[in-house]
């Protein structure tokens, strides 16, 4: 099971507020140390796998947002606190730093349930991202704003901001926060796809037979039997193409159905980042996502794939009459040529 944790790292008593240069240095140092962790062994010898992390540093310390794979919630919290404490003890440049709060704020099932709910049901959300301090919220939001310029393909208008409308419900800052969440979500999606590829390679099986998947289990489950190692690698190539295109100053709609699905999953990953920063209740997400869909997609045909039942039947055959929706057409470009040579390799349909 995957869990999202938040941990507070607190400087020694009497340490003055960190200035901007010090905050940058602390963030780089912590990020480097966390990158070196291939696995975590908790105090009882339980193995916990770190999947992704975020470091946000504010004047009074740092906040680590960590995605880990653990057998149970208590193991995730205990192992994270244990390894963070050891890491600080071994970091000479952070003398006296300690671990404060270290707790799971949501499991992957919680986040999927919350973010997969229709926008009209947002008031029913009962997932608590944790009691964040004002400084922690400020640090997380600052990290989103720093990431936003990387999403060069979309300006504020793509998220519903209208600079000439003083009554526009989407502010320029709100648009930037969402853009930053897309950038950070793209990084996480890429990491998770690498993990999915490894899981399927090791199991020599399809997604229908492997539970520990993060991205492929967000695709239409009708075709889970066909999401094998080759498909996962091809979907990773498509997501890499998508990430490159999102960083360019111009945008054309998804080049194939698989890329439309990758962008669909990226929206959910961005939602997770906004949820962790305690922003979902503050932002007009319904308007923001509606504007994004209008700007990003030529059509929403890919969403019809989620309407199909898990088993094929005569009642849904009309949904597959749209060009590009048949599974063997997902990687075909909507135009001429080949998007990438690796995408031309045929899928073994089982």
Residues 6+ apart with CB under 8 A from 344: 331, 338
The predicted-structure confidence for 283-301, as pLDDT tens digits, reads as follows 999 999 999 999 999 999 9
Residue 146: the pLDDT is 92
d(CA 123, CA 71): 31
d(CA 220, CA 224): 7
Domain boundaries, the chain: 2-131, 138-344
Residues above pLDDT 90, as percent of the chain? 44
At residue 322 the predicted structure's pLDDT band, cuts being 50, 70 and 90, is confident
Residue 319: the pLDDT is 56
**Structure-token pair, residue 278:** 């305690």
**Helix, strand counts (H, E) of the chain:** 8, 5
DSSP state of 169: S
At residue 324 the predicted structure's pLDDT band, cuts being 50, 70 and 90, is confident
Q: State yes or no: pLDDT of 234 exceeds 90.
A: yes
Going by their DSSP bridges, the two strands 40-41 and 47-58 should be labelled as: antiparallel
Task: Tell me how far CA of residue 42 lies from CA of 55, 72, 99, 103, 202, in angstroms.
Answer: 21, 12, 15, 14, 25
Task: Tell me how far CA of residue 275 lies from CA of 73, 198, 349, in angstroms.
Answer: 19, 28, 37
- The residue ranking higher by pLDDT, 243 or 118, is 243
The predicted-structure confidence for 38-59, as pLDDT tens digits, reads as follows 667 655 566 788 888 888 888 8
Task: Identify the top-confidence range among 22-31, 134-143, 147-156, 309-318.
Answer: 147-156
Task: Tell me how far CA of residue 50 lies from CA of 8, 31, 65, 189, 240, in angstroms.
Answer: 17, 13, 11, 15, 22
Nearest Cα to Cα of residue 65 among 8, 111, 12: 8
- Give me the chain's average pLDDT, please: 84
The average pLDDT across 260-289 equals: 91
Which residue has tokens 């794979």?
69
The average pLDDT across 68-85 equals: 82
Q: State yes or no: pLDDT of 320 exceeds 80.
A: no
Query: Which fold does the domain 2-131 belong to in CATH?
Result: Alpha-Beta Plaits (3.30.70)
- The residue ranking higher by pLDDT, 212 or 121, is 212
Q: State yes or no: pLDDT of 195 exceeds 70.
A: yes
33, 20 contact by CB (below 8 A)? no
Helix (H) or strand (E) holding 102: strand 98-107
d(CA 296, CA 232): 23
Residue 28's CB is within 10 A of a number of other CB atoms, namely 12
At residue 152 the predicted structure's pLDDT band, cuts being 50, 70 and 90, is very high
**Which of these ranges, 7-11, 41-45, 314-318, has the smallest mean pLDDT?**
314-318
Crossing angle for the helix pair 134-147 and 257-276, to the nearest 10 degrees: 150
**Which of these ranges, 47-51, 226-230, 302-306, has the smallest mean pLDDT?**
47-51
Q: State CA 299 to chain mean position distance.
A: 23
Q: State CA 244 to chain mean position distance.
A: 16
């Amino acid at each position: 099971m995957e869990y999202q944790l938040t941990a507070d790292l607190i400087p020694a008593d009497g340490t003055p507020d960190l200035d901007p240069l010090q905050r940058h240095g602390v963030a780089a140092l912590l990020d480097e140390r966390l990158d070196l962790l291939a696995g975590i062994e908790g105090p009882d010898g339980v193995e916990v796998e770190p999947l992704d992390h975020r470091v946000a540093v504010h004047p009074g310390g740092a906040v680590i947002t960590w995605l880990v794979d653990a057998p149970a919630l208590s193991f995730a919290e205990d192992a994270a606190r244990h390894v963070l404490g050891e890491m600080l003890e071994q970091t000479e440049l952070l003398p006296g730093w300690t671990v404060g709060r270290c707790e799971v704020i949501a499991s992957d099932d919680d986040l999927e349930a919350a973010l997969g709910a229709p926008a009209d049901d947002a008031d029913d959300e009962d997932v608590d991202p944790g009691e964040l301090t004002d400084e922690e919220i400020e640090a997380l939001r600052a990290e989103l704003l720093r990431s936003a310029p990387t999403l060069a393909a979309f300006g504020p208008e793509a998220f519903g901001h209208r600079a000439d409308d003083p009554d526009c419900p989407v502010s320029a800052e709100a648009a930037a926060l969402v853009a930053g969440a897309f950038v950070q979500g793209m990084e996480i999606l890429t990491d998770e796809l690498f993990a999915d590829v490894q899981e399927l390679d090791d199991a020599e099986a399809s997604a229908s037979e492997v539970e520990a998947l993060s991205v492929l289990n967000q695709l239409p489950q009708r075709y889970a039997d066909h999401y094998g190692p080759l498909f996962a690698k091809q979907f990773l190539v498509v997501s890499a193409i998508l990430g490159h295109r999102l960083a360019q100053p111009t945008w054309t709609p998804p080049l194939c159905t698989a890329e439309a699905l990758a962008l669909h999953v990226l929206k959910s990953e961005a939602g997770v980042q906004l949820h962790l920063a305690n922003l979902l209740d503050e932002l007009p997400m319904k308007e923001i996502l509606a504007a994004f869909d209008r700007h990003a997609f030529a059509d929403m045909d890919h969403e019809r794939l989620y309407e199909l039942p898990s088993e094929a039947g005569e009642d849904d055959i009309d949904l597959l009459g749209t060009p590009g929706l048949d599974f063997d057409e997902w990687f075909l470009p909507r135009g001429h040529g080949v998007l990438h040579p690796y995408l031309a390799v045929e899928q073994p349909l089982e």
